[in-house]
Structure 1
């Protein structure tokens, strides 16, 4: 897991030496803005050559001693800067070794190089994981920039003339005074042309309840087993809900050193349920109480770090980043969480109320990369913690997405498929616990909304052109602009939760 930056000129001028020095300074400046995404001792591993500069702030997880980046093959044909983790990559490596490829490290990064040399962009069809990478091919000066199937890991770019500037976070690209583009999930950019390599099927599969439950359980077990394949101790952020409970239970089946982390205000429902389960199961458990003033004080830092201007996303990140700060303080650099389950498994009340819950699922899943998955990435990487999301495993997601909605919403029960998959594995008070949104479960309530609505000096009309129409929306947009980001050109308002004077309510747009 890393933060990456790259500068690739598709029509470079002859290198005068000064040009290389300038590219080196530019690359280091980009990496400095995302220093938090890697280990201190692995800051700015980079290379600069005519037409290409690649750099990484490496958070060393796999083959920590030898997987220095950027990596290249022995003949210097291809080099890559890579952020992410490939699950089960050993099988791809064995296939490549059978085809005559020789590896120098045990890292998943090197699989990208040899896989590209063997299959080109078709390599992406063989990958399961969370990743974003920029690869340069010296043989013809071309490049390939790619992002994982659902957008767990971020990748942005700007174009100036014949040069492309890539980075893991938008803040690296602000100085270039050019539109910042997002590499879409499940796509690759090859020499400026974007193509899709992954799509979720919109055709529901024909499957009965018993087979669906058994298949889901098997795929979930395999997803977690692959994601806990590490010699590092593991943290699981545990809210006391079924999503994180499923992750925690399964992680403990396949890894010997798992600790649960829970945050919430004193007396909150999440903390009480989480403490009960961990006490009954003898699970190592760290609990921290949230503090109202700490949350408020963190707003500017969180908005800058998470790159959100939507109020709901920024507020959720204010809370979430405290969990990962706690994980970091206890010496962990690898965590798992339960994000993404509600979107694909119809876990919110609004699924029962919506005229077309299947369409709502599609909308929510395809926007995760700029909502919940962005929140997890930024809030964890702000504290140099890699966080894996088992519910977004490629094979599990493909299956769950295609399961008929009447196996998710069944007999008035939301998330029926997931609940039945874990019935007998988890106690009934977890399996049948109703969905409780984070503001209620953690005890946050309207703490940040009330603060945002009472702040002076906020232009109530700010963002009106893109549909920002609440005091809290104006407040967080102003914080976003103060952090140095440009005025958004559009608003991708998600179907989700908004806040009212008396609490929060669901909206669909």
Structure 2
């Protein structure tokens, strides 16, 4: 895995400052500590940091075509490069290496912008074609690999694998976008294509950007989307056979490596399935790693050990202290913008552990989105059935009133905590789903933000992110519709961002076989009952894995990768939370209602309410602001 950066004068041919380009490249040293490379010519500069995985001796970047007129910097893996090389050679192209990077330049020469449609893998790359005076940026279909870009105040287009590469450029604007703050406090991250800064953007998954010198800047182009097109119903047996074939193929092509390779093994369904198939495909024992927690409420290590024993893996496990909160400020530096998924802490630690023994690790990310594994899908479908019983004209006022008067009862048994459900029932499907996944509800955000900050928002609401995606959804089927929304938002903005930054902080490449686009396409189109069957999520996935994994792995209650925030904030982090949330850094922004911040801290630390998630988002936002001041 690698890091890429670049500077492009899209209006003229101003000389690129090579020292500045090197500084941008160095900001991402952790992504590729093996070697670095730069290329500059009239109005163009490209930089690359390399983590050597394939073709160790000759895969240096930037990499050129035969006559040097096309050059590329590339982050990722193209798994079908072995098949593309002879096809391109038959078309007259000459290869000097046996690496996947060289496939990109020749594919561009042969197929132009459509070259990305031929690639199977995870990638973000920038290609400069001198003859056409064209810069081409591309990101993989699922958004596994990141790519940021922006328009600097000096007229340059700048880009990089991480936002810190852009902010290393002095003319890069760093004015915070109020709409990004609204999104952050709703989702826990800033959603594509926005970043925390007004003048920087994320290239969305499955998109390209083509910039021709001297021509108006174009819009991004979408070259792929999850189809979610219903096909003829298939039997469970047929579905199991095809899923197993796709799983084996996806995992097999991700086992190609010239450096040590292994897998994460949490003990959950997805990572256990990946390890089981890896073991079946491998001649040598699979290297696996997991972390354990002293608190049994958060510990899955016994299940990971059970899978490791069954498949005789080289298993390594380390216990992580549940008071592992020294990472808070480090996380702010890693993620570059506000990011509030607290599972980033154990993710960082498991990547740290994996890197002690391997350079490449396979993960189980994507199983829940593909096969409807999250419990919230079941809740949403129940709400959808209830919505269908009453017309909107009656449902909105009735449930809106009930939601307002029903007390919020975090302390009560779950059956009595109906406030969120009642509030959700007063909304339409998309608004209801947004309400169910929001870290801060609309009501809480309304109380959180100051009057002056609300004026800056000019009426913008974070639900518009989901409404925009829903407007382009290829499906109206209720379950597929929210799966699509999660793939467009939560998967890329939270899960894949978390894994990329945590792994690359340790120069570890992570591959996600459950996000192979061929598998994703197939899974999106099978009938919903094969995904959510009654109360059982990931139904067909679990049935397929029954010969490989025991029932107590497949059918036990999902635990997740959590940390004990509530007890932290009433115990060892009590003073830190109070000082951060009520301190000068947040107060000086003018964004927040100080009285409400005091209320959140007091009610949580008294034990009357659980505001741990809300306080974590504030803690990470405060840490981001302090990190920004330092840099």
1:341 deviation in Å? Answer: 1.0
1:457 deviation in Å? Answer: 3.5
Aligned to 1:305: 334
Trace 1:95-114 onto structure 2 (pairs within 5 A): 95-114=87-106
Q: Does 1:163 align with 2:183?
A: no
Aligned to 1:236: 263
Residues 88-122 of structure 1: CA deviation (Å, up to 9, x unaligned): 21111111011111100011000000000000011
TM-score scaled by length of structure 1: 0.88
Secondary structure, aligned partner of 1:456? helix
Q: Does 1:30 align with 2:24?
A: yes
Aligned to 1:327: 354
Equivalent in 59, 62, 76 of residue 70 of structure 1: 62
Aligned to 2:209: 189
Residues 319-339 of structure 1: CA deviation (Å, up to 9, x unaligned): 101001111123x11111111
Give, in whole Å, the separation in 1 of the partners of 2:565 and 2:231.
39
Residues 437-470 of structure 1: CA deviation (Å, up to 9, x unaligned): 222xxx74645565378331424777559x9983
Secondary structure, aligned partner of 1:369? helix
Moved more, 114-123 or 360-369: 360-369
Trace 1:389-408 onto structure 2 (pairs within 5 A): 389-408=512-531
Aligned to 2:81: 89
Secondary structure, aligned partner of 2:3? strand
Equivalent in 30, 35, 45 of residue 53 of structure 1: 45
Q: Which runs of 5 or more residues in structure 1 are unaligned? A: 487-509
Q: Does 1:214 align with 2:241?
A: yes
1:126/1:448 CA distance change after superposition, 3 Å: farther
1:417 deviation in Å? Answer: 1.4
Give, in whole Å, the separation in 1 of the partners of 2:68 and 2:3.
23
Aligned to 1:417: 540
Q: What's the Cα RMSD here? A: 2.2
Secondary structure, aligned partner of 2:53? coil
Give, in whole Å, the separation in 2 of the partners of 1:45 and 1:182.
24
1:84/1:25 CA distance change after superposition, 3 Å: same
Trace 1:246-285 onto structure 2 (pairs within 5 A): 246-255=273-282, 256-266=284-294, 268=296, 269-285=299-315
TM-score scaled by length of structure 2: 0.71
Counterpart contact for 2:120–2:517, Cα < 8 Å: yes
Q: Does 1:316 align with 2:343?
A: yes
1:252/1:375 CA distance change after superposition, 3 Å: same
Moved more, 89-98 or 199-208: 199-208
1:207 deviation in Å? Answer: 2.6
Q: Does 1:363 align with 2:485?
A: yes
Relative contact order: is structure 1 or structure 2 higher (C-alpha 8 Å, sep ≥ 6)?
Answer: 2
Aligned to 2:418: none
Counterpart contact for 2:261–2:287, Cα < 8 Å: yes
1:308 deviation in Å? Answer: 4.9
More strand by percentage: 1
Residues 137-181 of structure 1: CA deviation (Å, up to 9, x unaligned): 000211100000010000001113542101000111124125111
Q: Which runs of 5 or more residues in structure 2 are unaligned? A: 175-198, 212-216, 385-477, 601-613
Counterpart contact for 1:45–1:70, Cα < 8 Å: yes
1:485 deviation in Å? Answer: 8.0
Give, in whole Å, the separation in 2 of the partners of 1:444 and 1:277.
26
Secondary structure, aligned partner of 1:455? helix
Give, in whole Å, the separation in 2 of the partners of 1:55 and 1:235.
29
Q: Does 1:384 align with 2:514?
A: no
Aligned to 1:2: 2
Q: Does 1:177 align with 2:173?
A: yes
Q: How many residues get paired?
A: 470
Aligned to 2:456: none
Counterpart contact for 1:238–1:262, Cα < 8 Å: yes
Equivalent in 276, 285, 291 of residue 321 of structure 2: 291
Give, in whole Å, the separation in 2 of the partners of 1:195 and 1:111.
22
Counterpart contact for 1:265–1:444, Cα < 8 Å: no
Give, in whole Å, the separation in 2 of the partners of 1:431 and 1:472.
31
Give, in whole Å, the separation in 2 of the partners of 1:10 and 1:280.
57
Moved more, 86-95 or 204-213: 204-213
1:13/1:410 CA distance change after superposition, 3 Å: closer
1:196/1:464 CA distance change after superposition, 3 Å: farther
